[in-house]
């Protein structure tokens, strides 16, 4: 067996950065929420590190995953918004590892275009989580359960509505994905190191955990979502009286929001328990102990924060993601680390290549997190992180944001509205400080940073001296 480490990369879909349990062994006000039961994610932190300021570069599935697989920023990889153009990349993480002799396998969701695009994986076993798209899971479920359908319960794939799963727990796609991943461990090629990507669709809608996980939260005291004093100014009076089931903006009844959160948190804990199965199976496989484990998500879920639902937004619920690392044995770093420096999904590719001894292409724009594991206070790390997303649900929903360890700046290019949040004093972003005289100099510094970053972009956001508003038609397409 080679001494090169195996790599297990696990992602969830639409998993908020604050929706993991707070672990007393790793205290941090950014670590998580004590309401959310995730003992197995907590165990990863105890054996490794958590990055509490981890963000998605573009908060929706397709662009976020393009950045994850290429190690590039959204503007460099045609990923500044959600679109259906075909994936064509010069190099990808699984492709580079495959060329280096790794056995590469994907289990679960890709959201690649076209759906069967392997983009470097030798083998894919798919659960797409997309309506109208037949995949390995849908065929298995129909065959094994007499024509059953994943959303036969009637709840939509992007709906704020919620209910418990309608079939047995073992039929749930979260269990199915774990089962197929364990089969890989049992049957893999022991002569090669592996890169196994296990991609869960949940806690993305439908919010439909098995009954036992629904019941775990049904009687809990679940806080109402925060609604910032700025929300009406930014989004106007467009909150509909009778919002559609897939609405992105909706002031829903308290009990409806509560049910959504019960279903969401139940889905998070369901995934967490399946991770225990997955990691125990990893421990039984030949060479499993020599494995770097990384856990992340493509983006978060607003869950009613500021009357917003789904994703694509710059706010914490949508833009911040969990990012945890459990070290391979020869990575001699202090465990239980809580690292507050700004990082993003494009950093995963150089991290994995760094850990496996594979050369990082010069085109990669992310930075290896190994640097922060060695010294989390290093002065040459990025001071701010930049993210963006083009208009999606509405022409005015395009956004640009910058964030550091304590503060976030948000600019809406179609309206020119600016927001400034003190994330330490106001982690739920309820108070916009942009109009406060005492913050004027600070606001100007953030604005100047974004002006510099966006200068020369084809959308015309910046002329090098000022930010310029654009129409949705001029902007991201």
**pLDDT tens figures, 288-336:** 899 999 999 999 999 999 999 999 999 999 999 999 999 988 888 888 8
Mean pLDDT value across residues 372-383 = 92
211-237, pLDDT tens digit by residue? 999 999 999 999 999 999 999 999 877
All residues at 6 or more sequence positions from 185 whose CB lies less than 8 Å from its CB, including other chains: 196, 281, 282, 284, 285, 288
CA 168 to chain centre: 27
Long-range contacts of 427-431 (CB under 8 A, 24+ apart): 427/29, 427/30, 427/316, 428/226, 428/228, 428/305, 428/316, 429/226, 429/228, 429/306, 429/315, 429/316, 430/226, 430/227, 430/228, 430/229, 431/228, 431/229, 431/230
User: Residue 179's closest CA among 166, 190, 189, 168?
Assistant: 168
Compute the mean pLDDT over every residue in the chain, rounded to the nearest whole number: 93
For residue 112, the model assigns a pLDDT of 85
For residue 248, the model assigns a pLDDT of 95
pLDDT band at 28 (very low <50, low <70, confident <90, very high): low
pLDDT band at 29 (very low <50, low <70, confident <90, very high): low
CATH 3.40.720.10 range(s) for the chain read 6-374
pLDDT band at 30 (very low <50, low <70, confident <90, very high): low
107-159, pLDDT tens digit by residue? 999 988 887 888 999 999 999 998 888 999 999 999 999 999 999 999 999 99
For residue 1, the model assigns a pLDDT of 40
- pTM, full prediction: 0.96
Rounded-to-integer distance, Cα 137 and Cα 115, Å: 14
CATH 3.30.1120.10 range(s) for the chain read 385-454
pLDDT band at 476 (very low <50, low <70, confident <90, very high): low
Tokens at residue 353, please? Answer: 């290549």
| β-pair partners for 196 | 8, 105
For residue 240, the model assigns a pLDDT of 80
Q: Which fold has domain 385-454?
A: Arylsulfatase, C-terminal domain (3.30.1120)
Rounded-to-integer distance, Cα 100 and Cα 462, Å: 41
Start-to-end Cα distance in the chain:
48
Would you say 287 and 6 are in contact if contact means Cβ atoms under 8 Å apart? yes
Please say whether the structural domain 6-374 has been given the CATH code 3.40.720.10: yes
**Taking every pair of C-alpha atoms in the chain, what is the biggest distance, in angstroms?**
65
Mean pLDDT value across residues 359-374 = 95
Tell me, what DSSP letter sits at residue 308? Answer: B
Q: How many residues in the chain? A: 477
Tokens at residue 41, please? Answer: 């994610």
């Amino acid at each position: 067996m080679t001494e090169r480490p195996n790599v297990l990369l696990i992602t969830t879909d639409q998993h908020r950065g604050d929706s993991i349990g707070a672990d007393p062994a790793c205290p941090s006000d950014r670590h998580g929420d004590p309401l959310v039961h995730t003992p197995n994610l907590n165990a990863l932190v105890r054996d490794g590190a958590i990055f509490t300021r981890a963000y998605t570069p573009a908060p929706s599935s397709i662009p976020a995953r393009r950045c994850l697989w290429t190690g590039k920023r959204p503007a460099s990889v045609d990923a500044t918004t959600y679109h259906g153009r075909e994936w064509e990349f010069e190099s990808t993480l699984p492709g580079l590892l495959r060329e280096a002799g790794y056995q590469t396998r994907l289990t679960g969701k890709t959201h690649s275009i076209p759906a069967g695009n392997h983009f470097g994986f030798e083998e894919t076993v798919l659960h797409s989580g997309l309506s109208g798209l037949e995949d390995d899971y849908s065929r298995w479920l129909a065959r094994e359960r007499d024509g059953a359908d994943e959303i036969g319960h009637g709840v939509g794939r992007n709906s704020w509505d919620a209910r418990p799963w309608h079939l047995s727990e073992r039929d749930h796609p979260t269990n199915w994905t774990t089962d197929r991943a364990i089969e890989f461990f049992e049957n893999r090629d022991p002569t090669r190191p592996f890169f196994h990507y296990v991609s869960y669709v949940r806690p993305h809608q439908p919010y439909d955990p098995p009954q036992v996980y629904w019941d775990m939260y049904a009687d809990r005291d679940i806080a109402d979502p925060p609604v910032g004093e700025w929300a009406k100014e930014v989004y106007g009076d467009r909150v509909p009286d009778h919002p559609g089931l897939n609405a992105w903006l909706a002031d829903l009844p308290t009990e409806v929001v509560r049910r959504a959160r019960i279903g969401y948190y139940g889905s998070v804990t369901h995934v967490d328990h399946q991770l225990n199965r997955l990691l125990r199976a990893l421990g039984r496989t030949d060479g499993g102990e020599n494995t770097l484990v990384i856990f992340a998500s493509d983006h978060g879920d607003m869950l009613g924060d500021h009357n917003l639902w789904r994703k694509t937004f710059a706010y914490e619920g949508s833009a911040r993601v969990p990012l945890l690392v459990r070290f391979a044995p020869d990575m001699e770093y202090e465990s239980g680390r809580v690292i507050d420096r700004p990082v993003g999904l494009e950093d995963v590719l150089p991290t994995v290549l760094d850990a496996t001894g594979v050369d990082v292409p010069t085109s990669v724009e992310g930075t290896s997190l190994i640097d922060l594991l060695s010294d989390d206070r290093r002065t040459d790390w990025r001071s701010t992180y930049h993210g963006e997303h083009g208009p999606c649900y509405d022409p005015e929903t395009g956004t640009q944001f910058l964030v550091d360890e304590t503060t976030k700046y948000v600019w809406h290019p179609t309206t020119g509205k600016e927001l400034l949040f003190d994330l330490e004093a106001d982690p739920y972003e309820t108070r916009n400080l942009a109009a406060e005289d005492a913050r004027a100099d600070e606001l100007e510094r953030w604005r100047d940073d974004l002006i510099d970053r966006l200068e020369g972009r084809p959308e015309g956001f910046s002329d090098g001296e000022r930010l310029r508003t654009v129409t949705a038609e001029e902007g991201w397409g």
